[in-house]
Amino acid sequence: MLTMSEQQSLWRCDRVISSDAAACRQVLNDVVEQLEARHWVQRDVFSIHLAIEEALSNAIQHGNHFDTAKHIRVSCCLYPHRVRIEIADEGGGFNPEALPDPTCDEQVHQPTGRGVMLMKAFMSRVEYNAAGNCVVLEKERAQAE
């Protein structure tokens, strides 16, 4: 089996965008458009959409603290059977292992704190760098029904 670096990517984007919703929306829409054009199943598209949405929201809010002078770096590689997205912000990072479980009795009524859990649930792989300011999201393509 070929590794991802050995596979030919079908589509690639590398962008540095400002920390605002409109810029993020454009990247997100472009990725979703590529997946839909290649007939990825709806659940995969939903999963990837959700994970990117949550990662970008975290980058704007918790990473760059809504400072539009700070940037977010987004890299996306689409392969025949997998997509890989890397999202990095200019913040000091965080320890994802230290996040409280949002499903426990003490947290389930809290209005925030579910983004990382949803990313992990809907993607095949979610990994942060050591600093905690860069996340890699990967999704294996489901077989069409």
- CA atoms in the 13 A half-sphere facing the CB of 29: 6
- The packing angle between helices 42-58 and 21-37, to 10°, is 160
How near is the Cβ of 46 to another protein at its closest, in Å? Answer: 4
How near is the Cβ of 9 to another protein at its closest, in Å? Answer: 26
How near is the Cβ of 73 to another protein at its closest, in Å? Answer: 21
The two three-digit tokens of residue 27, written as one number: 């990247």
Q: In angstroms, how far is CA 60 from the centroid of its own chain? A: 13
How near is the Cβ of 81 to another protein at its closest, in Å? Answer: 21
The two three-digit tokens of residue 124, written as one number: 């095949």
Interacting residues toward another protein by CB under 8 A? 21, 25, 42-43, 46-47, 49-50, 53-54, 57, 102-103, 108-112, 114-115, 117-118, 121
Which residue, 97 or 109, has its beta carbon nearer to another protein?
Answer: 109
- Assess contact for 72 and 65: CB atoms under 8 A: no
- H-helix or E-strand spanning residue 117: helix 115-122
Which residue, 9 or 34, has its beta carbon nearer to another protein?
Answer: 34
Which residue, 116 or 134, has its beta carbon nearer to another protein?
Answer: 116
How near is the Cβ of 110 to another protein at its closest, in Å? Answer: 7
Question: Minimal CA–CA distance to 71: which of 18, 10, 33, 6?
Answer: 18
Which residue, 9 or 70, has its beta carbon nearer to another protein?
Answer: 70
Which residue, 54 or 138, has its beta carbon nearer to another protein?
Answer: 54
CA distance 85 to 139: 9
